[in-house]
Amino acid sequence: MEHTARLQQVLGYQFRDSDLLDLALTHCSVGGQNNERLEFLGDSIVNHIIAEALFLRFPASREGEMSRMRASLVKGDTLAEVALELELGDHLRLGSGERKSGGHRRASILADAFEAVVGAILLDSDVEQCRQCVLGWFDTRLQQLTTGTVEKDAKTQLQEYLQGRSHPLPVYELLSVQGEDHTQQFQVACRLRDPKLVVEGSGPSRRKAEQDAATLALERLSNHDL
């Protein structure tokens, strides 16, 4: 309990069952019991709390705009930023390999740990207490959001560009996956039939590789470099 006392102060929540917090901070590289199940639970509750907050805060916003705002708040990079602000990285339990490679600073590990901590708080208390914690951690980001400030992602922009010209939608094809599980690099092709164009994008996940490819396709289209 003492080794997480500082963390609980930063979180603004005191655990009744400190074993839940310990489990939430235990990465799968340690072996045995880890935070993956809590991460699954936390992912669902974070999405619910943020969606509810946006629904209440922006009564005039349409579904698409609220979806983009939610995506900007619950994406891995944002969750990792919040995890850093909460100093989760200083308390993670990692296997030796992850520890040596700087896993306590890796965005994906931090984001997963954040979701696991949320899941742990839910199990240790209730939905209302969990909601108060999450909204407190996201308060500044929620305050800064205004309608129209969140841009559509590249895949959405490309789709709308093509639909607006009655062209077929793009097709994304996974070309390769390289590297170890925690350092994978995905290569994806984005194929357009009209205008005829093929570009390739890369990223640490298939989703990010597709976004990268869509960004490149938009740049080519805007520059008429076909």
Tens digit of each residue's pLDDT (9 = 90 or more) over 177-221: 998 766 789 999 999 998 899 999 998 889 889 989 999 998 888
pLDDT score of 99: 84
Contact 94, 27 (CB under 8 A): yes
Q: Could you tell me the pLDDT band of residue 2, with boundaries at 50, 70 and 90?
A: low
Half-sphere exposure of 180 (CA within 13 A, CB side): 6
pLDDT tens digits, residue range 127-179? 999 999 999 999 999 998 876 666 678 888 898 889 889 999 999 999 999 98
Catalytic residues: 43, 115
- Please give the helix or strand (H or E) that residue 198 lies within, else none: strand 197-203
Nearest C-alpha neighbor of 202 from the set 182, 190, 187, 180:
187
Cβ-based neighbours of 163, under 8 Å, separated by 6 or more: 169
Give the integer Cα–Cα distance in Å for 226 and 224. 6
Kindly report the pTM of this predicted structure.
0.71
Half-sphere exposure of 149 (CA within 13 A, CB side): 12
Q: Looking at the predicted structure, is the pLDDT value of residue 97 above 70?
A: yes
Contact 200, 210 (CB under 8 A): no
User: Mean pLDDT score of the chain, rounded to an integer?
Assistant: 90
The tokens for 123 are: 């199990």
pLDDT score of 156: 85
35-68 burial: b if 16+ Cβ within 10 Å, else e: beebbebbbebbeebbbebbeeeeeebeeebbeb
The tokens for 82 are: 């919040």
Q: Could you tell me the pLDDT band of residue 94, with boundaries at 50, 70 and 90?
A: very high
